[in-house]
Amino acid sequence: GTANIGVVGLAVMGSNLARNLASREGNTVAVFNRSYEKTETLVTEHPEAGFIPAKTYEEFAASLQKPRTAIIMVKAGRPTDAVIESLMEVFEPGDIIVDGGNAYFPDTIRREKAVRETGINFVGAGISGGEEGALLGPSIMPGGSDESWVTLGPILKSIAAVAEGEPCVTHVGHDGAGHFVKMVHNGIEYADMQLIAEAYDLIRRGTGKSPAEIAEIFAEWNRGELESYLIEITAEVLRQIDAETGKPLVDVIVDQAGAKGTGAWTVQTALSLGVPVSGIAEATFARSLSSHPEQRAAAASLPGPDEAFTVADQDAFIEDVRQALYASKIVAYSQGFDEIRAGAAEYNWQIDLGAVSKIWRAGCIIRAQFLNRIADAYAAEPELPALLTAPYFADALSRGQAAWRRVVIAAAQAGIPAPAFSSSLSYYDGIRADRLPAALVQGQRDFFGAHTYKRIDKEGTFHTLWSGDRSEIEAEDTH
Ligand code: NDP
């Protein structure tokens, strides 16, 4: 074989990734697709790439140098399993199969285990950045073995996005670590988008400014600490005028947000790990709420506040919203990184959180200036108990918290939903609280279920005889 890398699955993502690979010095790319038409089209349209097309899995394997390395870019789920099975029939021990699709990380753990038993390496790699990222440079989150990283590392580094001279790829951890981190990336993306949407809604309803005027506000924010791809594209979307009606496009788009499931995975996983990712959860639920038109129609007659919403000082309000957005964003990222740390502990992955923040600086949807601050925080203190306690973020929160409270109060009084802003503020107040009413919850649990409690003043586990004389006894620890 003469190709050093192969791609299986030549739909949008696969063909762009194959072209990206072929454009880099030193790569020769073998390509295969279940139906040959896609292969033929790609090879004909891009003669400059020098692709080596294969009609069968046998031909594909024969065209690859050993150890063979192939990246799968097909539909997640059953199709991915089908392709892995076919590749296992033609590959040999030491070869490397990479799944670059959006797999659910438990599937990746299962596949890695099954493939490893044959001596073939399996790497689940999260690839972010969509079509354009695949072509020009994505952020890549590979898991898998150390052995496979030796061969795969240089190839992935050659195609990844570059941030401040560093390629946006790192060996995240073993087996499913890469897909886990990609999942949390998408969850954070949900939170980021919802926060921006709440900021837009509050400004629009509070000031009466047009979408185009608000686009200018976002463009301005994009020159400061909020600088990010999502803020940038928000300005673009808000500026867009619908050709058919002459109205702002945002006003003719149906207000029901779709989802492909990665936000839900992030929240489900967080629930099982016991990590409160309330920002991501509220963002995911906000999409669900929007997508139930029958319920919304039935509830539309429920009353809101009596008075109309007006803000006295528009510029001051807009600045408050900016600060609320930044503070809430810090909370969302802090929660997301908590989930990665908890996942690493649960599944025995050695994940460098600073390295993760660095590979998100370019190529992916949540790319932002902000990620440099996260990298700095973990560089200064790798065992940081929570991102929001790092000096830079703690300072930003203490500067922004008054504005954040004013915005949440204004939203509540005006009857404007701000689930991500307000839940993030509640999280902030919860995590920094000296005493929480969790003590009362423990009392309730002990009352109805004899679940016991600890005391602040002595060691041991206790139970009150609620249905007896209400004296306290020492109990066995049952949590
Ligand atoms: P699709 O998810 O639409 O998948 C189409 C490809 O899957 C085709 O090559 C198709 O082959 C192949 N396929 C489907 N079923 C089978 C099967 N049973 N056996 C073999 N091949 C099969 O393609 P995309 O390019 O949109 O996405 C590829 C992957 O990348 C997906 O996992 C997706 O979730 C992920 N993705 C990631 C994005 C990102 O931003 N990171 C964005 C979009 C997607 P055929 O032509 O023969 O039908």
Which sign, positive or negative, has the C-alpha torsion 144, 386, 222, 196?
Answer: positive
Distance of CA 319 from the midpoint of ligand 1 (Å): 43
Contact 106, 135 (CB under 8 A): no
- Among protein residues, the one with the nearest Cα to ligand 1's atom 43 is 130
Q: Is 13 annotated as a binding residue?
A: yes
- Among protein residues, the one with the nearest Cα to ligand 1's atom 35 is 101
Q: Please report how the helices 314-347 and 370-380 are oriented relative to each other, as an axis angle in degrees rounded to 10.
A: 50
Number of helical (H) and strand (E) elements in the chain, helices listed first: 20, 11
Best mutation site among 74, 81, 229 for ligand 1 pocket (most ligand atoms within 8 Å of CB): 74
Phi and psi at 169, nearest 5°, equal: -155, 140
User: Ligand 1, closest atom to CA 13?
Assistant: 25
CA–CA separation, 437 vs 123, rounded Å? 45
- Among protein residues, the one with the nearest Cα to ligand 1's atom 3 is 75
CA–CA separation, 271 vs 339, rounded Å? 10
- Among protein residues, the one with the nearest Cα to ligand 1's atom 39 is 130
The distance of Cα 246 from the centroid of its chain, to the nearest Å, equals: 35
Give the three-class secondary structure for 5. strand
CA–CA separation, 443 vs 111, rounded Å? 45
Residue 329: active-site member: no
Rounded to two decimals, the pTM is 0.96
Instruction: Express as a percent the part of the chain with pLDDT over 70.
Output: 99
Distance of CA 187 from the midpoint of ligand 1 (Å): 21
> What pLDDT, on the 0 to 100 scale, is given for residue 477?
63
Residue list, ligand 1 pocket, CB within 6 Å: 9-14, 33-35, 38, 73-76, 79, 82-83, 101-102, 127-130
Distance of CA 341 from the midpoint of ligand 1 (Å): 30
Which sign, positive or negative, has the C-alpha torsion 304, 306, 308, 310?
Answer: negative
> What pLDDT, on the 0 to 100 scale, is given for residue 1?
83
Distance of CA 130 from the midpoint of ligand 1 (Å): 12
CA–CA separation, 159 vs 134, rounded Å? 9
Q: Nearest Cα to 69, choosing from 160, 142, 162, 177? A: 142
Which sign, positive or negative, has the C-alpha torsion 172, 164, 218, 334?
Answer: positive
- Among protein residues, the one with the nearest Cα to ligand 1's atom 21 is 34
Q: Is 26 annotated as a binding residue?
A: no
Which sign, positive or negative, has the C-alpha torsion 112, 115, 120, 124?
Answer: negative
Give the three-class secondary structure for 70. strand
Q: Nearest Cα to 102, choosing from 127, 138, 132? A: 127
Q: Is 12 annotated as a binding residue?
A: yes
Distance of CA 218 from the midpoint of ligand 1 (Å): 34
Residues of the chain falling short of pLDDT 70: 477-479
CA–CA separation, 262 vs 423, rounded Å? 20
Lookup result for tokens 């969302």:
332
Which sign, positive or negative, has the C-alpha torsion 271, 404, 368, 133?
Answer: positive
Residue 37: active-site member: no
CA–CA separation, 28 vs 32, rounded Å? 14
Q: Which residues of 198-235 are buried (b: 16+ CB within 10 A; e: fewer)?
A: bbbbbbbbbbebebeebbebbbebbeeebebbbbbebb
Residue type, 306: D
